[in-house]
Amino acid sequence: MKAPLFYRRFDYDRNLLPNPHLRALEAGVDSIERAESKSGWTVGYPGWGLLYHLLLSHLAWDRSNIIFETGTNWGASTIVLAQALIDAKVEGHVHSFEIEPRFAETARANLESAGVAERVTIHLGDTRELLQRVLEGVAAVRIAFLDGSHEHDAVVAEFETVLPKLEPTGLVIFDNTYALTDPALGEPARVHEALKTIRSRHGGNIVNFEYVSWYTPGMAIWQR
């Protein structure tokens, strides 16, 4: 795999972050190592801003907005998703999936401190077992943020599980979209290659934001 590469910013005004707890977590963060110890393996800034404004620009005003997130991690991006619902003044809920119990515990504490816990349900377990079950309990998904496993087959499986419940104009957002591996060298396919598979099977449009997030950088949006 290619050497670590990231486009996470540290020289920015923390007031640009949409939630005070997120601002507190980022206080004094000036390196990737410090970032990991404060908020985990999250997309960071400006990725948080990208997520926040995508939601503010796409949440529906006339119905409940259901958001699915895979890979809760420590809950930083989850806070952003929930805060967007609050700031848009719309009905809705975030369903977030995390396989690691210790990460889920940290995330729940962060969501409480951020004041957004009532807008989020964390589902603990493997998305291969949980995702379909939870989807059966919702009418439709407005936005999905797929940031759990970054292996090709897992990404495609999550996408194809969510797709039947995705609203006609719904969005699927992917993290870690940079071409990290070289299949010609026998390296495993990841998100970059999964996007090609998704386009081949399901069509749609993809916009890729290359200079955001960190190892692996890149975020992308898919829409029918």
In a domain, 153, yes or no: yes
Question: What's the whole-number average pLDDT of the chain?
Answer: 96
pLDDT for res 198 = 98
Q: What is the 3-state secondary structure (H, E, C) of the chain?
A: CCCCCCCCCCCCCHHHCCCHHHHHHHCCCCCHHHHHHHHCCCCCCCHHHHHHHHHHHHCCCCCCEEEEEECCCCCHHHHHHHHHHHHHCCCEEEEEEECCHHHHHHHHHHHHHHCCHHHEEEEECCHHHHHHHHHCCCCCEEEEEECCCCEHHHHHHHHHHHHHHEEEEEEEEEECCCCCCCHHHCCCCEHHHHHHHHHHHHCCEEEEECCCCCCCCCEEEEEC
pLDDT tier for residue 97 given thresholds of 50, 70 and 90: very high
* pTM of the shown model: 0.96
In a domain, 1, yes or no: no
CATH (domain of 44): 3.40.50.150
In a domain, 181, yes or no: yes
- As for how many domains the chain has, the answer is 1
Tell me the per-residue pLDDT of 41-59, one tens digit each, with 9 for 90 and over.
Answer: 999 999 999 999 999 999 9
pLDDT for res 200 = 98
In a domain, 7, yes or no: no
Tell me the per-residue pLDDT of 159-206, one tens digit each, with 9 for 90 and over.
Answer: 999 999 999 999 999 999 999 888 788 889 999 999 999 999 999 999
Domain of 214?
Answer: 14-223
In a domain, 40, yes or no: yes
In a domain, 5, yes or no: no
